[in-house]
Amino acid sequence: MGKFNDIVKSSTPTLVDFHATWCGPCQAMHPVMDRLKNEMGSQVRILKIDVDKNQEVANKFKVRSVPTFLLFKDGEILWRQSGGMDINTLKSKIKAAI
């Protein structure tokens, strides 16, 4: 949890992707997340959290379904949504945080 907390306290927006290897919608989000990183570069940090391997973090944020996305800046949650989504939705949320 210590390293996670250090990362999300950054002034750079951090998009946390809570996912699972067995989750179909999570797999569908992989290319979207890769494209998001390529298009936004250093404007955003993307952190992928496997809920099966990191249950403590998932429980802390009450993640009950995957994928779930949380956008942090300066340690605060600015936005949260579960389910797959398109790149434009993600980009607009991140740009609002910058």
Q: Which of 16, 26, 71, 94 is catalytic?
A: 26
Q: Which two tokens stand for residue 97?
A: 């945080």
Half-sphere exposure of 32 (CA within 13 A, CB side): 19
Pairing of strands 14-19, 45-50: parallel
Measure the CA–CA gap between 23 and 98, rounded to whole angstroms. Answer: 30
Reply yes or no on whether 26 is catalytic. yes
CA angle 54, 47, 50 (to 5 degrees): 30
Which residue is catalytic, options 23, 49, 57, 90? 23
Catalytic residues: 23, 26
